[in-house]
Amino acid sequence: MADYPDTIYSPRTIANRSGVVYDANKQTVIFAEDFQKPAAEIVAIETDLEARKYSITIIIDGGGSAITTGIKGFLEIPFKCEIERVTLLADVSGSIIIDIWNDTYANFPPADADSITAAAPPTITTAVKSQDATLTDWLKTIDAGDILAFNVDSATTITRVTLALKVKKID
């Protein structure tokens, strides 16, 4: 990871040397492996503290080219939660299917057999967005410390997509 100086971007937005950005106004934390890489995947967790609702977000960037298939990133979830909705937002009209795999840290890395999306993975079909709150047959509960993997099963035209899981924290 690049060495970033401590910087204040606004009165309540702070970035530190680890590449973590915290915005107190929006209660948002953004983690970036390397802000310099054109195909960097940026993962954010945004929260509504009162409702204990969080958005777990990954951005998949093809670096100006159409996104390719395969695993695009891993994310450890630090708290037990239940998925309530998935949203996909693309930069251009196209199609994409992203499967989500979940396994324990001990069994890392997750594999296709660990899919939580059943026959209904997050999908955009000839559009720029999609949202699903039904989540038919999904395994919606994620335990603290579980690892999510994001695997692009297919993609056409889209060069950048954001996948956001709206979750509710479970005690």
10-residue averages of pLDDT along the chain (171 residues): 39 41 46 41 54 90 96 96 98 98 97 97 98 97 97 98 96 83
Report the pLDDT value the prediction gives residue 44, as an integer from 0 to 100. Answer: 53
Residue 104 φ/ψ region, left for φ over 0, alpha for ψ in the -120 to 50 degree band, beta for the rest: beta
Buried b (16+ CB within 10 A) or exposed e, 2-12: eeeeeeeeeee
Place of tokens 């956001």: 164
106 vs 37: CA distance, rounded Å = 29
